[in-house]
Amino acid sequence: MSTGIAPDAPTTVIAPGGDPALGGDIALVHALRRGDEAAFADLVHQLHPSMVRLAQLFVRDRATAEEVVQEAWVGVLQGLDGFEGRSALRTWIFRIVANKARTRGRREARTVPFSAFATEDGDDDGGSADSDRFWGLGTSTVGYWQAPPEPWLDAEGRVLAAEARDVVDAAIAALPERQRAVITLRDVMGWDADEVCNELDITATNQRVLLHRARTAVRHALEDYLHAA
């Protein structure tokens, strides 16, 4: 029975103990190596918007981010023979984007390493939730919510609407640089905490603080939107 894979296609190896789900990437990599234009077009359709978002964390504007992503796609095609399946194909591609975007940003002297701003506990980007939303000292429920967050997730249809998504995008865009980077990588692109810490050169504690503050700010924006709707 024909496997549909060219006999001379380079072998993609999954590291011992690796994620079996990466096996799905192997067939795609083989197809890309064979020059399957449909497979490549589908991959671009899936990943291009997220790649632009990632590039925008390091460069000055969207136009430059688009240029970086175009360069990254060339790098992806040129580097396919070196892809060994030790990470997900998506992660590998995002790493190429990040490296190229960081290089471009440094060349344009418009970015500063995230770690240059970091304090030991990351406590330099303002508060998270407003203190008056919690019970204070002298109460039996000190530290608990006094004014809990609105259950906006119950309004699923409204949250998924285009207008609500615009609110989320605007809230993320308005965040301080490091908060924006962390929430974009964690919640928009699905990176895990270790990947974010390595990419931004921040501690695990700093990453948690930044993510909490970013999520709180976005949630406040959504609550304001739902109240006004």
If asked whether residues 88 and 189 sit together in one domain, one would say no
Q: Domain limits at 214? A: 114-228
Percent of the chain with pLDDT over 70: 66
If asked whether residues 135 and 212 sit together in one domain, one would say yes
Q: What is the pLDDT of residue 26?
A: 86
Task: Give how far Cα 1 sits from Cα of 12, 137, 177, Å.
Answer: 21, 73, 54
The average pLDDT across 203-225 equals: 92
Taking the C-alpha atoms of residue 114 and residue 198, their distance in angstroms, rounded to an integer, is: 11
If asked whether residues 143 and 65 sit together in one domain, one would say no
If asked whether residues 145 and 213 sit together in one domain, one would say yes
If asked whether residues 67 and 134 sit together in one domain, one would say no
If asked whether residues 66 and 95 sit together in one domain, one would say yes
If asked whether residues 195 and 165 sit together in one domain, one would say yes
Is residue 68 predicted with pLDDT exceeding 90?
yes
Domain endpoint, select from 87, 107, 127: 107
Residue 137 resides in a domain: yes
If asked whether residues 101 and 168 sit together in one domain, one would say no
Give residue 154's pLDDT band: very low, low, confident or very high (50, 70, 90): very low
Number of domains, the chain: 2
Residue 44 resides in a domain: yes
Domain endpoint, select from 107, 140, 155: 107
Residue 8 resides in a domain: no
The average pLDDT across 79-87 equals: 87
Give residue 74's pLDDT band: very low, low, confident or very high (50, 70, 90): very high
Domain endpoint, select from 51, 77, 107: 107
Residue 10 resides in a domain: no
Residue 49 resides in a domain: yes
Taking the C-alpha atoms of residue 91 and residue 84, their distance in angstroms, rounded to an integer, is: 12
Domain CATH number, residue 118:
1.10.10.10
Taking the C-alpha atoms of residue 84 and residue 14, their distance in angstroms, rounded to an integer, is: 7
Is residue 175 predicted with pLDDT exceeding 70?
yes
Task: Give how far Cα 51 sits from Cα of 38, 97, 100, 225, Å.
Answer: 19, 7, 11, 28
Specify the amino acid at residue 140.
S
If asked whether residues 209 and 187 sit together in one domain, one would say yes
Give strand pairing partners of 145: 134
Domain CATH number, residue 66:
1.10.1740.10
If asked whether residues 33 and 83 sit together in one domain, one would say yes
If asked whether residues 124 and 101 sit together in one domain, one would say no
Read off the pLDDT of residues 18-56 as tens digits, 9 standing for 90 and up: 444 455 788 899 999 999 999 999 999 999 998 998 898
Give residue 141's pLDDT band: very low, low, confident or very high (50, 70, 90): low
Residue 123 resides in a domain: yes
